[in-house]
Amino acid sequence: MASYAYADYDLHLHSQWSYDATADIRDYFRLGRERGVRALALTDHHLMDGYEELVKVAADFPDVGYIAGAELTVHTPTGTFDMVCLGLPRQPTPELTRVFDAYRAWQCAYGAAISANLVRLGHDFTDEVRMAVLQTYRPPHIIARQGCTHVKSAVLRQTLVERGVAPDLEALKEVFRQFRDMPTYPEYDFVLPAVRQAGGVILIAHPYGYFRQLERQRMDELRELLAFDGIECAHPSLTHEATETLRAYCQEHGLLSSGGSDCHAAEGNFSNPDRIVDFAYHCGKPEWLDEILERVPLYHGA
C-alpha cells in the first residue's frame, strides 16, 4: 500500500446516498474547507439522488468547489467495471434519467434476487427481513427514495452468519456460489453514450484489477471497448509505482488522470474491516485537476 498524503482535491466520494456508505455530505464540505481542497466530487453508486442535498449544503461552503458526478458500474462482454463519471449536469438529461431509472430498478431487483435465492435455499431472508436490515444503517428518507435495495456487503455477510445461514464467512461463500438468476448491471453501450451526450467525462476507477495488474494488452483492450476519457491513477489501492505507470499511459494516449480516496465515511479509520480511508487521501497531482477542469465545470455554492 502506498504511503499517501492528502491531496487538494478528491474526485471519488460516496455518501449515505450510496447503498454501502455512511458519510454525511456536509462532513465532506467541512473537511474540504478545513483542508483547503480546490474541488470534491460526490460520486455515489449508480445515482445522483444526493445532489439536491449537496446543493443546499454547498450554499454554506461557497469556498469549496465541487464537480457533479456518479460512479456507474457497467456490464460488458469482458467483465463488469466501475466508471467514475464527472461533469454530469446537476439536472439529468432525459437520456441520463433513463440510465438512472435503470440503475434504480437494478438495485431493487438485485436485492430481491438475493432474498429469493436465500429463501430458495431454505433460509429466512425475505424482502421484509432485508428491509429490516437496511433500516439498521440507511436513513428513512433515503430508503423512501431508493426502495428496498441490496444490502451493503459487509453488513449482509455478518447478518447472514448471525442468522445461521452459514457458520462463518468462509462457509458463506459456498452459499453465494449457489445463487442463480442474478441480474447484471446495465450495459456499457447503454450507459456510457448517455454520459458522453450529457457532456460528462468517463474515468475507469481503481483499475489495477481491471487491468490485470497493469497488463498492457488488457489496458489497450479496455481503452478501446469502453472508450474512457481517463484513468483513476491515484487511489489508496494503488502503489506509487502503479500510479506512475498509469499516469505515463494516460500521457501516452492523451487521457485524463484522476485521483480520489473512494471514501465511504467522512472520518476514516484506517484499521476498520471495510478499509475505509480518509477524505482526500491519495497521491494525485495538482496538475491532474487542472487538466480535468478544462473539460468539466467546477461549481461553488448553490
Would 182 be classed as within a structural domain? no
The number of domains in the chain is 2
Residue 272: per-residue pLDDT = 43
243 located within any domain: yes
Which residue intervals of the chain are DSSP H helices? 25-35, 51-58, 94-120, 127-134, 140-146, 153-162, 169-177, 188-197, 216-226, 240-253, 286-293
Give the CATH number of the domain where residue 248 resides.
3.20.20.140
Same domain, 234 and 85: yes
Q: What kind and span of H or E run contains 101?
A: helix 94-120
Confidence at residue 265, expressed as pLDDT on a 0 to 100 scale: 85
Q: Would you state the pLDDT for residue 102?
A: 99
Q: CA 234, 301, 230: angle at the middle one, nearest 5?
A: 25
- Angle, in degrees to the nearest 10, between helices 127-134 and 153-162: 120
Looking at the fold, whether 146 and 210 belong to one and the same domain comes out as no
Asked if residue 279 belongs to a domain, the reply is yes
Residues 26 and 50 in one domain: yes
First to last CA, the chain: 37
185 found inside a domain: no
Q: Answer yes or no: are the C-beta atoms of 265 and 276 closer than 8 Å.
A: yes
Q: Domain range spanning residue 88?
A: 9-93+191-300
Look at residue 270 in the predicted model and tell me its pLDDT: 47
Per-residue model confidence (pLDDT) at position 302: 80
Residue 283 and residue 200 in one domain: yes
Shared-domain flag, residues 156 and 122: yes
pLDDT by residue for the chain (302 residues), tens only, comes to: 445 678 999 999 999 999 999 999 999 999 999 999 999 999 999 999 999 999 999 999 999 999 999 999 999 999 999 999 999 999 999 999 999 999 999 999 999 999 999 999 999 999 999 999 999 999 999 999 999 999 999 999 999 999 999 999 999 999 999 999 999 999 999 999 999 999 999 999 999 999 999 999 999 999 999 999 999 999 989 999 999 999 999 999 999 999 999 999 866 544 444 445 689 989 999 999 999 999 999 999 98
Whether residue 136 lies inside any domain: the answer is yes
Is there a single domain that holds both residue 145 and residue 202? Answer: no
Domain contains 198: yes
Residues 206 and 240 in one domain: yes
State the pLDDT at residue 2.
45
Q: How many helices (H) and strands (E) does the chain have?
A: 11, 8
